[in-house]
Structure 1
């Protein structure tokens, strides 16, 4: 059987008795077979598995054959699930964490309807609402361990689209295609932050980049969506594994300018502190540095205007033909430091 969690990767799992570890692995195998995504952290998988076991009153390996479901009149409230897992699975979950059971541990299982709510029409925070296994899945769980169990699962669920596939389709539908100044194409995950990065690449750089080549882009779901590592190293840019990378980096060979661009949606303009930090990190860089903070609109710009550092540039996507220069001695370009004579 596949090992979904290894003891060396998760302390809470390593501290559990071997029998409980096996039970959790078996629970995850069952959920995987039902189409539940398995791409969460080890602890999240562990928490999902034990919540699932509690919802079916499965406390040991022989419990699968006696799985209780909603048709048996069995259900546990979130606080009762905490009591159950603490008692049976060597957990020490705080009783005050009951909302995490609903919002995190059971979230995928209830979306997929592997676990049902005892009173689905009640309020979200109804403390009397319980959770139990869907009888359609309960029957399969009770047969777990039979020689042809995998075939039975495929046959009985053949007309159901697995949740993992639904989520994958949703992510693909929501992705945003981006055209780089060079003509190459990328896809971003959806969201206002990445919509702004798309505007930076398609509107800002063609206007103000002097033929700039994109060397780095970070996506909200992929920190290194696009990276030209060797070209950045040639410019003596700072260590690429550093946590302080801006959202977009582009280089104009014509001007020998390196653009460090922050795409601001909810936080992160180039403030005085951020500017000092970036200057220290790029002290060995052989190109002139242009610091740019980008916003989607003027209302967002107004929200952060007091934080923006001098000697930086501001670009607003809904007014793409204009720049705001936070200094009076020059327009777009790198600053050498100091004051004008």
Structure 2
């Protein structure tokens, strides 16, 4: 076996997924006529596979108990919850932890510990159709290490909410029903609390006609605020702001009637500008 494959730069002796990974030949040779190896085809033993399937079923039961709607109760969401708890197939729910996890590390966790591989282009599906709903439900906190970090930042991370972590550590024990009832009774309060915290981090902007809007924190929206606060009063003093986009939601401000009167049609799912200002010199 070569120490390193000249064509793919993979070292076969370096496993990438603990005890469930195994290096395999691709059946091809590289430019040096040496056998080419591919990175870690996950081989899960029957015992580990059974434990993984059981843990995924349990995670699905947890999501159902927490009241998530049926479309949200699926394997992808179950795996996402397990990754956020850093919970391996053979571990107890009492072993649940609360690491900071980005979307890509979550997907790597699916593969490395549960043998479930998702295509790299599934990243947005995980973020928008699972993690986003977890955040909205108060189950997960976005960017607890830096709340002002933009949601579309490649450095975005997520962490299980502390009271949810305490609850989930009791799953499968006699304490679970009582703890679950108490958690569900408090979850609306928690959601309002976190929503209020997120709101205080938003960027306030007052438009030229006096209308006030709030933009998501950080990143590109800081520049949008500077354009509206500093550029427009100097270069378009009598202009009318007709549209302002947001990194989190496109339609932070949208004067559809004025745009339509000017003959401008904006498609909801098309690419949007950051700001539209109408100014006649």
Normalised by the shorter chain, which TM-score bucket? 0.3 to 0.5
Q: What TM-score results when the alignment is normalised by the length of structure 1? A: 0.41
Q: What TM-score results when the alignment is normalised by the length of structure 2? A: 0.48
Greater radius of gyration (CA): 1
